[in-house]
């Protein structure tokens, strides 16, 4: 298994919920974290709460960067910042997302576009703009004849973990744009697994069912629980555990991981 100790992870949607739980789990295993979200003060407060275990004598250098993930120019600024600060990117977790609770015919075009822009394009920009950084870290050389990458075994392979949703593959009412955006995230991840895998970078996607966060606060009723074979909503720590597995298992690549208490079986 790979270790998270000494690795640097960028986590979008890191101010709360699933993203923040992943940040805590990774930091508790010795990773340094850069949280991405919309509000700098909220992120700075979240950073203060992250565990700071020592690894190789140096405390991990956590940080935060507030920007809207649908803004590709802000992603580019971040890449420049990472390069100038000589910070590596070992793991990218795209967890930022917004939900929908309205039938398609009642959803404005602006709302639908916003959901796709944040959930799908925000994830795509992060992958697209940080991949070259992750590839450069893998010291090696391109074998033009086989269009492949000869890797240096000493380099740590990079990893992308995208957070999609059960609704990417199962119908849900009032979530058409959301479902479409999350299906896009699954397809994006699969395509990246093929393309980036040649460069030693793994790409995986988690499809959570209903997880207890601000996003589902209004849904936690008994009717919903009765639909879930496990009889309850999931916990953020359970999603974080899945993310840790994907980050550390060197053979986890193109994994499409349902984490829904069995709801996808119904
Ligand atoms: P949440 O609402 O608690 O947190 C969302 C996070 O994303 C926050 O940190 C927020 O600041 C950030 N964010 C939202 N829009 C952003 C933007 N435009 N730019 C930058 N940051 C932005 O949500 P939760 O539940 O933690 O969800 C995390 C991810 O998991 C989302 O992608 C969501 O779609 C997905 N998901 C959640 C499920 C659930 O039941 N909670 C189920 C399936 C998927």
Q: Domains of the chain (ranges plus CATH)?
A: 8-265 (3.40.50.720)
Q: What is the pLDDT of residue 136?
A: 82
pLDDT per position as a tens digit, 106-117:
999 999 999 999
Q: What is the pLDDT of residue 10?
A: 96
Decide if pLDDT at 142 tops 50.
Answer: no
Q: What is the pLDDT of residue 59?
A: 63
For ligand 1, atom 10, the nearest C-alpha belongs to 13
- The pair of structure tokens assigned to 164 is 């999609």
pLDDT per position as a tens digit, 12-49:
999 999 999 999 999 999 999 999 999 999 999 999 99
- Mean per-residue pLDDT for 218-232? 88
Decide if pLDDT at 145 tops 80.
Answer: no
The ligand 1 site (C-beta within 6 Å) comprises: 12-13, 15-19, 37-38, 68-70, 95-98, 118, 122, 163, 165, 208, 210-211, 213-216
| Per-residue exposure over 187-207, b if at least 16 CB sit within 10 Å of its own CB, e if not | ebbeebbeebeebbbbbbbbb
pLDDT per position as a tens digit, 82-108:
888 778 899 999 999 999 999 999 999
Q: What is the pLDDT of residue 152?
A: 43
Cα(4)–Cα(84) distance, rounded to whole angstroms? 23
Q: Could you give the maximum distance between any two Cα atoms of the chain, in Å?
A: 59
Decide if pLDDT at 144 tops 50.
Answer: no
Cα(68)–Cα(247) distance, rounded to whole angstroms? 25
CA of 236 to the centre of ligand 1 (A): 11
Q: What is the pLDDT of residue 220?
A: 65
């Amino acid at each position: 298994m790979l270790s998270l100790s000494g690795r640097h992870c960028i986590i979008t949607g890191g101010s709360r919920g699933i993203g923040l739980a992943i940040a805590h789990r990774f930091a508790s295993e010795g990773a340094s974290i850069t949280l991405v979200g919309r509000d700098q003060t909220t992120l700075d407060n979240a950073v203060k709460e992250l565990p700071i275990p020592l690894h190789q004598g140096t405390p991990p250098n956590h940080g935060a960067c507030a920007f809207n993930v649908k803004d590709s120019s802000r992603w580019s600024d971040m890449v420049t910042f990472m390069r100038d600060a000589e910070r590596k990117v070992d793991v990218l977790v795209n967890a930022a997302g917004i939900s929908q609770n309205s039938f398609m015919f009642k959803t404005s075009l602006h709302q639908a576009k916003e959901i796709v822009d944040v959930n799908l394009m925000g994830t795509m920009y992060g992958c697209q703009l940080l991949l070259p950084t992750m590839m450069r870290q893998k010291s090696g050389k391109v074998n033009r004849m086989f269009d492949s990458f000869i890797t240096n075994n000493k380099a740590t392979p990079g990893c992308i973990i995208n957070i999609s949703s059960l609704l990417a593959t199962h119908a849900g009412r009032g979530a058409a744009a959301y479902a479409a955006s999350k299906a896009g995230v699954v397809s994006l991840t699969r395509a990246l697994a093929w393309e980036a895998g040649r460069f030693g970078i793994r790409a995986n996607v988690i499809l959570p069912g209903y997880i207890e966060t601000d996003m589902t606060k209004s849904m936690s009723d008994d009717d919903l629980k009765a639909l879930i074979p496990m009889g309850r909503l999931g916990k953020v720590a359970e999603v974080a555990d899945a993310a840790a597995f994907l980050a550390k298992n060197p053979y986890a690549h193109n994994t499409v991981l349902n984490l829904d208490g069995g709801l996808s079986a119904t």
